Amino acid sequence: DSAKCIAYGAVYDGDVWDFYSRKATAVDALPVGTILTLAATGSEMSDSSVMTLEEGWLKRGYNNDLSRPLFSILNPELTYTLPEYQTACGVVDIMMHTMERYFNHTSDSQLTDAISEALLRTVLDFGPVVMADPKNYNARAQIMWAGCLSHNGLTGAGVDTDWSTHQLEHELGGLFDVAHGAGLSAVWGSWARYVYTEDPRRFAQFAVNVMGVSNDFRNEEATALAGISKLEEFFQSINMPISISDLGIELSDAEIDELAYKCCFMGKRTIGGFKKLDQDDMAEIFRMAR
């Protein structure tokens, strides 16, 4: 992501933060190439980058196809020495990039759904393997390839997207400098429980097809909630947090208000596609997550 930011800034006379604050649109950039050492963000195959402005502790993303790498070298052996914590954070981020696209209201998206579900099941299968056996080449390769496909547009082909969990985490990570994947797992369950009633069937589909929950045909909501809980159990199994307090952060009411205020861009936007969230919604999710 830093390379992408530098690529924009090297050919721009102004402050590169202009792009991340939506004050300007990049029209040129230096070419970018990557050598992947951490399977997580999918930046090696995406048009996305995220930067943090320490003044005000704002964490913002910017998407522009000019920054999509011209080449990326993917050697699973380069990830063998990653700390366990960073490996787990990467597993979460890969899943979240897929799920931010998966939870949508688009109809007749069976193939895209199936691709996303297969990718998620693969990460669920091989995530614990790389945690237990860091030098397992095949497991590292599966996770690395999943990271690429999760964020190159494939899992969002032809569907609406959400991105609420990422937007919420950006504010959390900006204020407290937590690892991105850990911040995502800390807030996802609260987001899911807050929005699932918009389309319980979608969450039930996720529960059955991804998490292996038995479908309760008489109670769709119970199936949906079981899937949410089962994913949280997976996060805990790889030592990832499922609440903000699990991060060692005790949010005050004032900090919740600050996070929600920044997340809505000081009252200028809503977030989310699965359910539109305003500032009050954001604050409530942070309260649920703490």
Structural domains in the chain, CATH included, are 2-73 (3.40.50.1970), 83-289 (1.20.1090.10)
- HEC states along 190-217? HHHHHHHHHCHHHHHHHHHHCCCCCCCC
What single letter denotes the amino acid at residue 82? L
pLDDT for the residue 56: 83
Flag residues of the chain having pLDDT under 50: none
Q: Which of 148, 147, 131, 130 is nearest to 139 (CA)?
A: 130
Count the Cβ atoms, other than its own, within 10 Å of residue 187: 27
pLDDT for the residue 105: 97
Give Cα separations from 199 to 203, 267, 290 (angstroms). Answer: 7, 27, 25
pLDDT for the residue 109: 96
pLDDT for the residue 32: 98
Give the residue carrying structure tokens 């649109």.
25
- What's the rounded Cα separation, in Å, for the pair 72 and 152? 13
pLDDT for the residue 44: 97
Residue 85, exposed/middle/buried by CB under 10 A (0-12, 13-18, 19+)? middle
- What's the rounded Cα separation, in Å, for the pair 31 and 25? 17
- Whole-model pTM? 0.95
